[in-house]
Chains A and B, each alone.
Chain A
Amino acid sequence: MTRPTTSTPPPAPPSRPRAGELPDRLQRLEDESIHIIREVRAQFSNPVMLYSIGKDSSVMLHLARKAFHPGPIPFPLLHIDTTWKFSEMIAFRDRMADEIGFELVVHTNPEGVAAQINPFDHSSQHYTDVMKTRALRQALDAGRYDAAFGGARRDEERSRAKERVFSFRDRLHRWDPRNQRPELWNHYNGRISAGESIRVFPLSNWTELDVWHYIEANGIEVVPLYFAAPRPVVERDGTLIMVDDDRFRFEAGERPEARSVRFRTLGCYPLTGAVESTAATVPEIVAEMAGATRSEREGRVIDHDQAGSMEEKKREGYF
């Protein structure tokens, strides 16, 4: 819900601030996130960080590097690969793992692959349940992780606004919004019994704009799909879908056309809408956002497929 009163572009922040020179607001958010990440390392024996390759994950990864500097990140990063991510995302993921040197775990639901579950033949609910939610549960069980970081922010969606920073999950990874642990000051309760786990959201208090300002201030690299470029898209029910590979199923009369587009969030390419844009740099994106009238998740088909949609998915174990 961050829309400014004016559409005047803000002054560009310094490209790389000196140590300790982040603006007050970003510094406060960074400090809080680092505190949370360290607390997880201290309280749990086997944490993992969900890595979705998006801008929020990129910020979370950067914060994890800061939290344990000069040491390495003391836990693996886990990517749930639905096999339908943008190809640029996968290339970016592998390059980051290589350059930064973190341990990367990739999991795909083998049952979903065997059943050829895909976003064209199956409803978005079923596809998401099999390839994301169930795949995530499989990976968390297999790794016996007792804590899992996610990059979700409370400003994204109404039910997320009520989620804790340390969010308890039972043995079946279920979230019970009516029975959450109260969370006071910065005393996070990470006590669990065997088989239970905690989802941790270090970016809870960040907004989309904060994320972009932070990316700019720290020179964090993100997937190029966030920046506008001519890309082949088809328009479907008012949503621009990119034709990312030859598995795309065209409907009658559809033909890809090159338009200057970018993405505000990144997911599975057949389910992620692009926005028409010419913003090719972070300051241009920030300036464009200042005039935005739609929230970033509007392009996510899966958020809107049923009433109370995200809350239902979260109860089942979705991030």
Chain B
Amino acid sequence: MAPAEAAGGGPGPRHDLLRLLTCGSVDDGKSTLIGRLLHDSDLLYDDHLAAVRKDSAVSGHAGGQVDLALLADGLKAEREQGITIDVAHLYFSTSRRSFIIADAPGHEQYTRNMATGASTADLAVILVDAAKGVTTQTRRHSAIVSLLGIKAVVMAINKMDLVGYAEDRFDAIAAEASGLAGALGLPAPVCIPMSALHGDCIVEQGASMGWYDGPCLMEHLEQVDVGRAAGPAGAPEHVDALRLPVQLVIRPDQSFRGYAGTVCSGMLRPGDDVRVEPSGLITTVERIVTFDGDLDEAGPGRAVTVTTADPIDIGRGDILCSPDRPPERAREFTATLVWMSESDLVLGRDYQLQQAGQRLRCRVTEPVRRLDVDTLTSAPAPAMRLNDIASVTLRTDAELMFDPYEQNRTCGSFILIDPSDNATVAAGMIKAATRAAHIVPSAGRVSPQTRAQLLGHRALTVWFTGLPGSGKSTLARAAEAELAAAGVFACVLDGDNLRFGLNADLGFAPEDRAENIRRAGEVAALLHRYGAVVLAAFISPYRQDRDRVRNLHPAGTFMEVFVDAPLDVCEARDPKGLYAKARAGTISDLTGVSAPYEAPAEAEMRVRTAETDVSEASAEIVAEVLRRVREPGGGTSGPH
């Protein structure tokens, strides 16, 4: 952060910005403190003050005096009830700095609002009532501040007037507050004694506490240096690793293609190699384009547009990162959740997880360990309710790219959205992947474009799904032969064949079927990455499993073919005698007979094999495949 300008310059254009969170309740005198900061710094407009005077007469809680708390309480309900129910943002400048205060309510029922305010704050001011000392509320505030990763903390020991401005009282509270911070892993807080009501040690020291030789609150806020790195100071290497999540592609015409996004950590320079996740491809930064001209470098926080040396496919949700230090990737990880909705968390239910450009379906799984913010202990809990904080495990339907929250605030955090009403129901901070945490996949320079040039066509996965006996394998084999004849590198993945080897350990229970498809999908994606046209024939009865395989593929390079035949037709064909065995009771869990089949709702193609013969159906599929892998633009468009 740039050093503050010398005093006396007025609120110049060049001074910097500090975002702070104030935690406390009406009882602690927090709104009074904020009002006092603005009032004593002479930062109040007369008409704003006049509005407060008017409101003080109607709904003031300061016994006839001007109630400075009303400055911060913007909503009518708050003014009437004398409480703060939402995060308010207040803005003021002094000769040294501009400040944005996120004023969060302090009561337990507003934990979510405090977490919200904390998520963007550089510094937290925690109010402590000198008459009460460190309370459970102080513990709760400190825990949330610690959890959200704020590293600069001020303990404002307020209402010193109520304890006769006694130095020993302040020393005792400061010692306890510092001990609490230490226990929570916060750095030593700056403790300041004050009386917001009378104005002591807010802007001016005043005469009441001659024994105090530290800074007044305003002086401290003007001078404190908070680092603005992605993570806390002294955190390991990832803090410096480049992370640029791509927001959108800027492509006004054929001559320009740039990737727009905000650098969340690390440094970007033209000529640097960058790795594109999740494809793992490496390319070189060509230009950092802005409206005001190209930049030589761009650091954390800068919103830029990047062009690359190679014409590789990059889109929203991709992350540009340091070649040797990509973010972690996992489908299962642990995180701390703050629950923000009136509706309780339902374990096993689908939620949307959003982080930067990534949006994934996810489920929260057991165990849930709820944090008791008053005692700072955690215990197993059946679910989460509004304002609960808990440690949980999440499982996503595709890989999430992330860094642990303590290393990277943006790439380590996420929100959960309830798909039924689109409400934001939780905020999450990622701890670690539950497995394979430290595997860094190697990266190559051979792009899909190069492979497509070598082979003369692009990669595509064609996924045949349908009942046993519907004709999946027959169609896949026919198409394979025709494609080979047309010079296409095509290969069939067949369910039964895979069950001889890779999947020999799996049965037919729902979880085994899911694992069967997961492995088949991974193999398909692997072959796909190397340029093949994969023809995969699997019953794959569950929509969720098929969608998971789809999500392993870049958009537009996966094509689902619903091989549709009525059950009686399949049963009449019964090429493997499965239906006969199922009817005789010698096998259980046969799809269509004793296990469900979820037909695709939006397959790219539907082939009715009861009405079409094999060569006709195969020709139709082959024509569509050739269109997609050979025609210009055929790989990215298509009916999906």
Residues of chain A touching chain B, judged by Cβ–Cβ distance below 8 Å, are 1-11, 13, 17-20, 23-32, 34-35, 38-39, 41-42, 65-72, 154-155, 157-162, 177-178, 180-187, 189, 191-193, 204-205, 207, 209-210, 213, 216-217, 286, 290, 292-295, 298, 307-308, 311
Contacts and interface: CB of A to CB of B under 8 A. Distances in A.
A25 B16 contact: yes
A18 B236 CA distance: 34
A209 B15 CA distance: 12
Interface in B55-81: 71, 73-77
Interface string B217-256: 0000000000000000000000000000001101110001
A178 B91 CA distance: 22
A6 B10 contact: yes
B424 A181 contact: yes
Nearest to A160: B74
A13 to B, nearest CB: 4
A29 B352 CA distance: 29
Interface stretch (B111-119, B473-481, B490-498): B111-119
Contacts of A3: 42-45
Contact of B12 (A10, A18, A184): A10
Contact of B409 (A1, A25, A182, A185): A185
A161 B90 contact: yes
Given A4-B95, A25-B98, A181-B424, 11 more contacts: A4-B11, A4-B43, A6-B95, A66-B290, A69-B250, A70-B258, A159-B75, A161-B88, A185-B413, A187-B356, A307-B76
B7 to A, nearest CB: 9
Contacts of A42: 247-248, 316, 357
User: What DSSP secondary structure best describes chain A's contact surface?
Assistant: loop
Interface centre among A24, A182, A311, by most chain B C-beta atoms within 10 angstroms, is: A182
Contacts of B424: 181-184, 189
A293 B261 CA distance: 40
A187 B75 contact: no
Contacts of B340: 182
B85 interface: yes
A28 B422 contact: no
Given A13-B13, A72-B252, A158 B74 contact: yes
B15 A23 contact: yes
A27 B86 CA distance: 28
Most buried by B among A25, A32, A205: A25
Contacts of B356: 186-187
Contact of B422 (A1, A177, A189, A295): A189
Nearest to B261: A38
Contacts of B44: 1, 3
B14 A70 contact: no
B270 interface: no
A266 B303 CA distance: 30
B16 A24 contact: yes
11 contacts: A2-B91, A5-B41, A10-B11, A23-B2, A29-B17, A31-B302, A158-B74, A178-B85, A180-B86, A191-B422, A290-B10
B289 interface: yes
Interface stretch (B291-299, B549-557, B629-637): B291-299
A240 B298 CA distance: 48
Contacts of A38: 247-248, 260-261, 303
A65 B252 CA distance: 13
B449 interface: no
A56 to B, nearest CB: 14
Contacts of A161: 74, 88-90
B389 interface: no
Contacts of B427: 182, 184
A11 B11 CA distance: 10
B262 A186 contact: yes
B60 to A, nearest CB: 14
Given A13-B14, A185-B413, A295 B303 contact: no
A286 B13 CA distance: 10
